[in-house]
Structure 1
Amino acid sequence: MGVLENIVPGELYDANYDPDIIKLRKEAKIKLHKYNTLSPVEETEKNKVIKELLGSCGENFIIEPPFFCDYGSNIHIGNNFYSNHNLIILDGAKVLIGDNVCIAPNVGIYTAGHPIDVNRRVQGLEYAIPVTIGDNVWIGGGVSVIPGVNIGKNSVIAAGSVVIRDIPEGVVAAGNPCRVIRKITESDDQITNFKK
């Protein structure tokens, strides 16, 4: 069993000083550095690096550089995945992303958190809780997804939202903290242009 399998969701572990964990993060950073500096024309090599980094990925994915994560091996993306620039995934726990997910620029998906009390925090302790994003989800620019959140399939998270609790399927959600604004309906299929 690898080091990351020893991290129990919700329980504290030593993220800052455990040499095995530091080694795994460094290995991921080496791959990320290579990925983020490859020429845009080197698509085959870029795809190879991402497949080596991530736990699993489906067919037809685009991750616009720069992309950052802690380990990579806890990230699982489905088919037809697209993320724009500056995606950050802190994957101390699993991050499961479904099919047909689109992520706008400057999004952060965080499984990692730190104790509130200073004594445990300065010891380098943290916890990690999995995040799940369902099929057909669209996440707007600048969104933060906090540890333990599940976003239901077919939902839209508006730009700038901070998602601190689960979002059901088939809704538009927005705000800080993010909350459901309305259900997505058949009339949304009729919209052909957007007005402010």
Structure 2
Amino acid sequence: MNVTFATSSHEVGGPSRRAGAATSAPIVVGDGSWIGAGAVILPGVNIGAGAIIAAGAVVAKDVKAHSLYAGVPARKIRSLSTAEVPAV
């Protein structure tokens, strides 16, 4: 819910116009990942398989597989188990 995938940005311009030339980069989300409400994913980020992004996190760098990331900017909180959990 309310997740932002920002695939474009701009370079820093000179003093008369700080918004310089436009840039873009794809975002890749691995299988089985979970992205919490209100998270923002910035251009060029790769989210590894099975990762969790906490609600409200701002992800500016790649996320390792099977890891929990949270915060602004997002940082790794802990590794997650790769064992399958039985369905309820």
Q: Normalised by the size of structure 2, how large is the TM-score?
A: 0.84
Tell me which residue corresponds to 2:3.
107
State the Cα deviation string for residues 91-116 of structure 1 (Å, max 9, x = none): xxxxxxxxxxxxxx110001100122
- 1:121 matched to 2:19? The reply is yes
- 1:130 matched to 2:41? The reply is no
Tell me which residue corresponds to 1:184.
80
Question: Which amino acid is 1:129 matched to?
Answer: A
The 1:187–1:133 alpha-carbon spacing in structure 2 relative to 1, beyond 3 Å, is: closer
Contact 2:53 2:70 in 1 (8 A): yes
What is the aligned counterpart of 1:164 among 47, 60, 73? 60
Higher relative contact order by CA 8 Å / sep ≥ 6: 1 or 2? 2
Richer in helix (by share): 1
Q: Normalised by the size of structure 1, how large is the TM-score?
A: 0.39
Output the aligned Cα RMSD.
2.3
Alpha-carbon offset, residue 169 of structure 1: 0.2
The 1:146–1:186 alpha-carbon spacing in structure 2 relative to 1, beyond 3 Å, is: closer
The 1:188–1:182 alpha-carbon spacing in structure 2 relative to 1, beyond 3 Å, is: farther
State the Cα deviation string for residues 135-167 of structure 1 (Å, max 9, x = none): 001000000001110000001100000001000
Q: Unpaired runs of 5+ in structure 2? A: none
Q: Unpaired runs of 5+ in structure 1? A: 1-104
2-structure distance, mates of 1:129, 1:110: 9
Tell me which structure has the larger Cα radius of gyration: 1
2-structure distance, mates of 1:142, 1:155: 16
Tell me which residue corresponds to 1:42.
none
Identity %: 36
2-structure distance, mates of 1:161, 1:183: 17
- Match runs of 1:35-184 below 5 Å: 105-118=1-14, 119=17, 121=19, 125-184=21-80
